[in-house]
Structure formats: C-alpha cells, structure tokens
C-alpha cells in the first residue's frame, strides 16, 4: 500500500488530500477516491 498526496478542485477551491491505495491502483481510481473524500468532508 502507498500513500498518495493529491490536490483536487471542488467548487473553485483546491483541497489537498491523501489516498492510501494499492500500488496497482490506477491514477483514475486514485483521483476518484480523493474526490469522494473531499466531497464527504467539505460539501454539506
């Protein structure tokens, strides 16, 4: 497993988050997981 730091933009704001994933996980899947995390944490 690896920790990947990623910046995603949601509603015009940038959020830095990290995703813990398997080494084989695709970049698209990591981005999707990061976006889900940010939406759950910041969007109400």
pTM for this entry: 0.84
What pLDDT does 44 receive?
64
Q: Distances in Å between the alpha carbon of 11 and those of 2, 8, 15, 42, 43?
A: 28, 10, 10, 10, 9
Q: What is the Cα–Cα distance from 18 to 38, expressed in whole angstroms? A: 10
Domain ranges of the chain: 2-42
pLDDT score at 42: 81
DSSP 12: T
What confidence score (pLDDT) does residue 21 get?
95
- pLDDT in the model for residue 39: 93
Burial environment of residue 20 by CB neighbours within 10 A (0 to 12, 13 to 18, 19 or more): exposed
Residue in the structure block whose two tokens are 């889900």: 36
Tens digits of residue pLDDT in 4-35: 999 999 989 999 999 999 999 999 999 999 99
């Amino acid at each position: 497993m690896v920790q990947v730091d990623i910046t995603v933009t949601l509603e015009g704001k940038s959020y830095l988050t990290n995703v813990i994933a398997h080494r084989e996980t695709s970049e698209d899947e990591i981005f999707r997981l990061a976006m889900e995390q940010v939406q759950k944490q910041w969007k109400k």
